[in-house]
Structure 1
Amino acid sequence: MRPLRFVALGDSLTEGVGDPVGGLWRGWAALLARGLAPVDAGVEFTNLALSGAQSRDVLERQTPEALALRPDVVSVVIGVNDTLRCTFDIHSVAERLDTVYAAFRARDTLVMTACLPDPGSMLGLPGALARPLARRQRAVNTVVHALSERHGALHLHAAEEEWLTDRAMWSADRLHPGERGHRQLALRFHALLAARGIATGAAPAAEPEFAAPTRSASLWWLATAGTGWVARRCTDLLPQLLTLAASEVRHRARGTSSRLDLSAAHAVSAALAALSVADQPDAA
C-alpha cells in the first residue's frame, strides 16, 4: 500500500513564509503533512505553493503539476494576492476556483480550502484604504465558502477567529503567521481531517520549537525582504486603491456606504449564478 499523497497549492501563506527553518520556509502544510499518517506509514508531501501566486497561477501552473502527482489530499488556499491587484475580478476568481476544485474532485481527491482575513485589517491600514480590501476579501471568502460546499471540500474557517487578534501568532510583516500561527493552522486542518478519519498520525504540537525572532531581527527583515515583498504586490494596486479610498470617503460623507457593500454582494451572486448556469446541459 502506497503512502498517502498530500499536495499543497497556493501562495506565500502555504509556502510557509513566516516560519523559517534552516534557511527555508516550512509552514503549516509541512507541519500538517507529518501528522497525516503514523510515522511508520509515511506521507508523500509536495508543496507547489509560491509567494505572490494568484488564482490564475494555481489554475494554469500548479494544478496541472499537482494532478500529475495523483494526490489523495490537496490544499487550495489562495485569493489574497488577487485582492491586491488592480485586475481583481470576482467573476474570474470564481471561475478559476470552480475549475480547480472540479479537476481534483473528478480524480476523487479530497480538497481542503480556507477563508482568510483581509490584508487591510491585518496591516492596520486607515479605514478608507482598508475597507475596499476588506470588501474584496469578503467576496473571495464568500465564493470559497459556496464552492467548497458545492464540491464537497473540507473547509477551514480561518477569517474571523480569536487567534487573528493574538499578535504572538503573527510574523513581523503582520500578513503571515509566525511559527505559532502556522502551527495553529496545521492543528485546525488536522482536527478536520481526523474527524473524517483521514489524518491518523499525531497532531502537530501547538507550541513552537524555535524561539520567536527578536524585535531587532524582525525590524531588519521588514526593512529588507519584507518591504520588497509588500512593494512588489501593491505597486499596480496603489493608484486604484487610492481611487477606491476616495470613493469610500465620498460615500461615507453622503451616508451611502451601504451601496458599495450591496454592489459587491451583487457581483458575488452574479459570479456564482453564472457558474450554475454554465453547469446546465444546454448552457452552450
Structure 2
Amino acid sequence: MKKKIVIIIIGLLLPVVAYLFIAYHYMYQKIEAGALSVVDTKTEYIIKISDDKALNLAYTALGDSLTAGIGASIYEESYPYLLAQKISKGSTSVTLRDRAYSGARTSDLIENLLTSAINDKPDVVTMLIGINDVMGNVPKTSFAENYAEILKRLKTETKARILAISIPYIGTKALLLPPYNSYFRHEIVEYNKIIKELAVANDVEYVDLYTQTENMFDNEEFFSRDLFHPSAKGYELWAKIIYANFNN
C-alpha cells in the first residue's frame, strides 16, 4: 500500500518538476535567442548647448544592461541618454559617462565600475543595479552589504547628487511563466525595500521606478524582442519617470 502511495506521489510530482524545469530554462533560452546588440560603444557622450555661457554638468550612469541600453537600437534611445537630454534643456551642457555593462551585479559594480565613476567627479549619479542579483539568487544580506558600500563611497568620495533607482519589473507575461512571474515579482519588491531603506539611511534620493512600471509587462511594445529588456519606448518611459523625480 505504501509503495503504491509513493508511486502515485512521484507520478504527480514528476509533471510539476518537469514544468518548472522547462519554464525556467525557456526564460533564459528566450533571452539568449533575442541576441540583443551592445549599443553603448563608448563611455562618454556629450549633449552640448551652443550657448557659451551654458553650465557644464557631469552625469555618470551606473548599472547593468538596463543602463547600457540593451534592447534599444542605439544608445541615444537608452534612459541615461534621454535623461541627459532632458537635463540639458535650457542652459546646461551634459557630459554623460556610461559606467555599465550587461550582466553586472552589485559586486561587479564595486569591483569594475565604482572607482571609474568616482574618478568622473560627477555632479549627478544615477544607479540602477540589482536585477542580476535577483536573477542570480544573490542573498539579500550580500546585496544589502554591497549596495551600502556603493552608496557610502559615492557619498564620501564625490559631491554628486545621487539617485538610487529601484529595480523595475522586467519581462513580459509570455516570458515569465507561472510561478516564476510571482516569484520574481516578490523578490524584486523585497530587494527594492532594501534599496529604499539604504537610500533613506544615506540621505540619497530614491526613485520608485517599479511602482510606476509594474503593469508595463502587459504591453509588449515596451519590450525588445527578447521580451526581457525594454524597447526604445520602454526606456523613454523610464527617462520620463526618472526626470520627473530629478526635476521635483
With normalisation by structure 2, the TM-score equals 0.70
Cα distance change of structure 1 residues 119 and 189 upon mapping to structure 2, 3 Å threshold: closer
8 Å CA contact retained: 1:4, 1:72: yes
User: Is 1:98 the counterpart of 2:154 in the alignment?
Assistant: no
* Residues paired across the two proteins, number: 192
Question: Which of 43, 48, 72 matches 1:19?
Answer: 72
2:194 paired residue number: 143
- Which segment drifts farther, 110-119 or 170-179? 110-119
Question: Which of 163, 172, 182 matches 2:225?
Answer: 172
SS in 2 for 1:155: strand
Give the CA RMSD over aligned residues.
2.2
Q: In 1, Cα distance between the equivalents of 2:103 and 2:86?
A: 27
SS in 1 for 2:70: coil
8 Å CA contact retained: 1:8, 1:49: yes
Seq. identity, %? 23
User: How far apart are 1:97 and its partner, in Å?
Assistant: 0.5
Question: Which of 34, 50, 56 matches 1:3?
Answer: 56
8 Å CA contact retained: 1:122, 1:175: no
User: Is 1:128 the counterpart of 2:179 in the alignment?
Assistant: yes
Q: In 1, Cα distance between the equivalents of 2:174 and 2:119?
A: 37
Question: Which of 104, 128, 140 matches 1:53?
Answer: 104
Cα distance change of structure 1 residues 146 and 44 upon mapping to structure 2, 3 Å threshold: same
1:189 paired residue number: 242
User: How far apart are 1:139 and its partner, in Å?
Assistant: 2.0
User: How far apart are 1:3 and its partner, in Å?
Assistant: 1.1
User: Is 1:80 the counterpart of 2:131 in the alignment?
Assistant: yes
SS in 2 for 1:45: strand
With normalisation by structure 1, the TM-score equals 0.62
User: Is 1:161 the counterpart of 2:212 in the alignment?
Assistant: yes
The amino acid of 2:153's aligned partner reads A
8 Å CA contact retained: 2:209, 2:241: no
The amino acid of 1:35's aligned partner reads K
Q: In 1, Cα distance between the equivalents of 2:72 and 2:205?
A: 24
Cα distance change of structure 1 residues 110 and 117 upon mapping to structure 2, 3 Å threshold: same
Cα distance change of structure 1 residues 186 and 118 upon mapping to structure 2, 3 Å threshold: closer
Query: Cα deviation per residue 1:151-210 (whole Å; 9 max; x = unaligned)?
Result: 222222122335513332222222211111111111111111112xxxxxxxxxxxxxxx
Cα distance change of structure 1 residues 4 and 123 upon mapping to structure 2, 3 Å threshold: farther
2:159 paired residue number: 108
User: How far apart are 1:2 and its partner, in Å?
Assistant: 6.1
Q: Work out which of the two has the higher radius of gyration on C-alpha atoms and give 1 or 2.
A: 2
Q: In 1, Cα distance between the equivalents of 2:65 and 2:242?
A: 18
Unaligned runs of 5+ in 1: 196-284
The amino acid of 2:188's aligned partner reads Q
Query: Cα deviation per residue 1:66-97 (whole Å; 9 max; x = unaligned)?
Result: 001110111110111111225x1111110111
Unaligned runs of 5+ in 2: 1-53
Cα distance change of structure 1 residues 122 and 25 upon mapping to structure 2, 3 Å threshold: farther
Q: In 2, Cα distance between the equivalents of 1:187 and 1:170?
A: 16
User: Is 1:71 the counterpart of 2:116 in the alignment?
Assistant: no
Q: In 2, Cα distance between the equivalents of 1:14 and 1:99?
A: 20
Q: In 1, Cα distance between the equivalents of 2:163 and 2:173?
A: 23
